[in-house]
Amino acid sequence: MSRILPLVALSICLGSPLSAQATAWVPRDTLVKDSLLMTAMHLATEGLGDSARSLVRRRIADLSRQDPLYPGALFTAGVVADNSDSAMSYFRTVSIEYPRSEWTDRALLRMAELRFAAGELRSAARSAERVLLDYPFSTVLPWAAFWAGRAYLELGEIDNGCELLRRAGETATDDIELTNRSRYYLQRCPGIAPESAAPTTAAGTRAFFSVQVAAVSSAAAADEIMQGLHRQGYEPHVVRSTDGLLKVRVGRFANKADAQALATELKGKIGGSPFVVEGS
């Protein structure tokens, strides 16, 4: 795919209209603070890219680099850019120079999409997984899992890809588009079948269900998340996976429906995208 493909066309190729993504990925409070950036996004979706880019350049020039709105302006510049190289440059700047910004997880996700479209599958997976690892309470976690899963599937790493695609589908909640897309690609995964309420493992032991809240790479990050859960009245536990990640989970249920109810409760209290996992 051409590296100078216009981003509106790129969004169509990826299966999500630019207008829907642009609107969904802008934090509500920032929309209120800076309507000019939203105007630029709307202009871009209406085919007025030059006008959109002019507005964003003006906003960037008016802001200092320390202004909280600055990374949002850079992100918007990436959204309305007329080629993927420019877009990637803006998103990369946000991800590197403003790692604590409310825009960073979205910038990383955009980078993953652009890299996937360019055939840079390993880099796409890494960008998406940075969202999963570094921003465990991000609202775009389901889409990050989807693009990481797609990338691994195309790389031939079926087990990893299928696990991530399952996670995307399970955490999509009311995002029908993501649910359907995840199900479509899961057809390439072996052994796809509905789970019973309390399945039996190969070793003959009864399985249980827990709710995974986050997967992080450091003990300090896991401890911080667990302390927050303790303050909310939950009893979390940590599972270390074979890839070294520390997975913070809550509960042990024989019935998946009970675990799903807890996942919904946790999402309402702490945000993010908690999802049900099976243990034994």
- Express each pLDDT in 42-97 by its tens digit: 787 778 889 989 999 999 999 999 998 999 999 999 988 989 999 999 999 999 99
Residue 201 lies in a domain: no
* Per-residue pLDDT band at 23 (split at 50, 70, 90): very low
Whether 2 and 108 map to the same domain: the answer is yes
Among the three residues 74, 94, 116, which one is the final residue of a domain in this structure?
A: 116
**Do the domain assignments include residue 132?**
yes
- Sign of CA pseudo-dihedral 228, 246, 131, 191: negative
**Within-domain flag for 53:** yes
Q: Which domain holds residue 72?
A: 1-116
pLDDT (average), residues 131-145: 92
pLDDT band (50, 70, 90) for residue 241: confident
**98 and 169 co-located in one domain:** no
Distance in angstroms (rounded) separating the CA atoms of residues 55 and 73:
10
Beta bridge partners of 246: 216, 240
Is 174 among the domain residues? yes
The dihedral over CA atoms of 70, 96, 140, 131, expressed in degrees to the nearest 10, equals -160
> Both 173 and 244 in a single domain?
no
pLDDT at 243: 65
pLDDT of residue 206: 58
Domain boundary among 83, 116, 149: 116
With respect to residue 9, please indicate whether it lies within any of the assigned structural domains: yes
Q: How far apart are CA 202 and CA 134, in angstroms?
A: 34
pTM: predicted TM-score of the whole model, two decimal places = 0.69
Distance, CA of 61 to chain centre: 30
